Structure 1
């Protein structure tokens, strides 16, 4: 799920979509994003540690900022104020305004996709990388 036209690097996008899908319990999207990351050459240790990124040393500061934004933007009920000032400061240290807009849009889009997947009970496990290449161009 790449934000078209953004200079936002693909890896933080992919890590964010996986983490949001894990939080939301969307089996289909967790399957898709973990397999796409592996297919793109992302090391298994990083994929496996996305759920515990705060306790892992394999993510850059920029990736950590993106993951924090993804979590706080997803767990709205846990933080009545939305995304914390600390997280916004970290995000601003690593991303420009256009990239931040893409990060916010990505969090909103993957949350919507997760909710659709959960509502219709879309199961994970059957996704194969590239299976939608013909329709996504």
Structure 2
């Protein structure tokens, strides 16, 4: 079996568990539906090019009972009617935040206004934390290169 390039990061940086727990608690405050969080996390994993994160968040959505067609459509969400207006704006936000824009700001006033139609201030702040949560773990996924679909306990080299 393949293993990660890095030893277990939680052993190297013991505070990682507390940080991850705090982020999980913050994103689970109830202001955003769990399905929306999962869709945003999946799209973030796709955007940053991490197979590990993409497989992880796809699996989480499946475990939550999400429809397979919607999971598959996340990569091309603009071309389908499978998502609610609120989910679409959340997906637009994650793309705007994680994709460089050579022509100006990433999150335009127009996109913010659209998001504000579906989410109150707490929910918007929570969406920002959801995107940041994936962003926080992206370097470990890209540098450490954990094996997609294999639990952390089974793959981290000691």
Fold match (TM-score > 0.5):
yes
Note the 1:2-17 alignment, pairs <5 A. Answer: 3-17=27-41
Alignment size in residue pairs = 129
Shift of 1:8: 1.4
Does residue 96 of structure 1 match 2:125?
no
Shift of 1:63: 0.1
Q: Is the contact made by 1:27 and 1:122 (CA closer than 8 Å) also made in structure 2? A: no
Rg (Cα) greater in structure: 2
Does residue 62 of structure 1 match 2:76?
no
2:3 paired residue number: none
TM-score normalised over the length of structure 2: 0.74
2:109 paired residue number: 85
Secondary structure of the corresponding residue to residue 81 of structure 2: coil
2:134 paired residue number: 110
Separation in structure 2 between the aligned mates of residue 115 and residue 49 of structure 1, nearest angstrom: 25
TM-score normalised over the length of structure 1: 0.85
User: Which digits, 9 at most, give the CA deviation of each residue in 1:28-68, with x for residues without a partner?
Assistant: 11111101101111000000000000001100000000000
Separation in structure 2 between the aligned mates of residue 118 and residue 35 of structure 1, nearest angstrom: 19
